[in-house]
Amino acid sequence: MSDDDSQRSAVTAIITFVFLNIIWTAALNASADQHIISPQSDLVPEYQFDGPDIFGREVPFIVMYEINAVEGSSSSSVKLDLKFSDGTIVNIHDGESNVSSTEEFLLPPGSSSFLVTVIQDGQIFPVPSDLVEIDLRTEMELYTPIKIEGYVAANFLALALIVTDRAIRSWATSRRSRRGTPMVRKLREEWKEVEKSISGGDTVDVDDLLNNSTTSSSMISKRRAWSVEDSEPEPEEGDQDIKEAEVELDELDELGAGDESKLQGEAQLDEDVDTISDLWDKLGDSQKKRRGP
């Protein structure tokens, strides 16, 4: 992995960790709101609601209430209690009307309820709505009980994403390096064929080697011709054809009559050929001899 890739990977890791931690921090500020008692509703002695079960832990519970006397009604006393699922009763307000406040508690899981009692002249008034109006709202911070676990999970997730991403990138890079370029793959296949022939497998076709050698020499000659500017004037087309025909006839005359004597009998080991490079050099020397100086 290059320095640029390492630096980019480090920056990506930092951004991933920070981003997931910001998401969890924002989730901690989320709350579940409930409007338990509305001022326009008729008051009843008990209002039940369910506390969430967050791994059996207590949830921060905020109670916001406002109690006002109905206009034109006589004075009265209001008692507001909170009864938890375990039977515990906590007093929220006990006194005169025209009051508002906010209280915080820890709410256990299960069914809980608010108890409302309106007293006038020492007696429980049968129709509380005729004397007071109550506006009661609640908020539950659902994710606060698992705050630490959430940060651990967010960082673990970030680490898993980074490790997975690096593993996939490494696998893809190694796969590309094993496959190589088309030219490298072709050379590898040719080398395997030569190895197979040397180790006693199928023989390599001499004509194929000669063709490959001729093709390579031709490509090299063309590249040299392209890179070097020819300063000599080009001969006319008719003269060039005559010269090429004469050269080909001279080469054929030098070869003489051929026979198959060298292709029969047992093969002879050439001690001068140890590597593939020696074989190519030998083929090149034989071509130079045929062409002449």
Total domains, the chain? 3
Instruction: Note whether 136 and 46 are same-domain residues.
Output: yes
Instruction: Note whether 157 and 18 are same-domain residues.
Output: yes
Last residue of a domain, one of 114, 142, 170: 142
Residue 263 maps to a domain:
no
Range of the structural domain that residue 93 is part of: 32-142
Indicate the pTM of the whole model. Answer: 0.51
Instruction: Note whether 112 and 201 are same-domain residues.
Output: no
User: For 125-144, what is each residue's pLDDT tens digit?
Assistant: 888 888 899 999 999 988 88
Residue 261 maps to a domain:
no
User: For 90-129, what is each residue's pLDDT tens digit?
Assistant: 999 999 888 999 999 999 999 999 999 999 888 888 888 8
Which pLDDT belongs to residue 162?
A: 82
Nearest Cα residue to 141 out of 54, 65, 64: 54
CB atoms within 10 A of CB 270: 10
CB atoms within 10 A of CB 246: 10
Residues of the chain with pLDDT under 50: 206, 209, 230-231, 290
Q: Three-state DSSP class for 121?
A: coil
Pure H helices in the chain: 3-28, 147-179, 182-198, 206-227, 237-255, 276-291
Tokens of 94: 């006990």
